[in-house]
Amino acid sequence: DVLKTMFRLSAAEGGKQQFTQRTTNALTVQEIFDALQTTDSGSDPMTRDTLLRYMQILSNDSVGMVGRVSQGSSAPSGSTQYVVNVANIIRFLRERTMHSILTERYHEEENEATNGVCARIYQVLLHAKYAEQNQVADLAMIPMKEARIH
C-alpha cells in the first residue's frame, strides 16, 4: 500500500510524464501518512512509527525501490523525503525475468548435474559486465568445458 500510495501521489502532482523519469516526485513521510489515512479501507490504520519503519526498510532494500532524499543534518526526521526509483524497479524486473526465462528454458534440456548453468553465467556477466571464459567459469563455479558450451 505504501508504494501504491507514493505512485498515486506522484501521479497527482506530476501527471503521466512523471513515470517517464527515473524517480517520482519527492514526498515527505507526513504526505504519505496523510494519504494512507484517507485511503485506509476498513483495516487497522497504519501508525506513523510503522510507516517510518517501512520507509527505512524500503530505502535500505538491495533493489533500491525507494530512495531517501537528503535534507541535511538540521532537518527534523519527519521532513525526510522519499522517492520511488522507477528505473531500479524496471532494472530489477528485467533481470529477474531474464533469469527466470533462462532457468525455465534450459532446465528441461540440461541434465540435473548442470542444471542452472546458463542462469549462473548470466548472473556472473550481469555483475562483472565483461569477463574472460576462465573468469566466468571460476565465478560461476563451473568447469571450463561447460563455460565454453554455454
Convert the pLDDT of each residue in 91-100 to its tens digit.
999 999 988 8
What is the pLDDT at residue 150? Answer: 67
Mean pLDDT of the chain: 79
Residue 74 has pLDDT above 60, yes or no: no
CB 27, CB 10: distance < 8 Å = yes
Convert the pLDDT of each residue in 108-137 to its tens digit.
454 555 557 888 888 888 888 788 888 888
What is the pLDDT at residue 111? Answer: 52
| Count of C-beta atoms within a 10 Å radius of residue 111 | 6
Name the residue among 96, 80, 78 with its Cα closest to residue 88: 96
Environment class of 140 (CB within 10 Å of its CB; exposed 0-12, middle 13-18, buried 19+): buried
Residue 76 has pLDDT above 70, yes or no: no
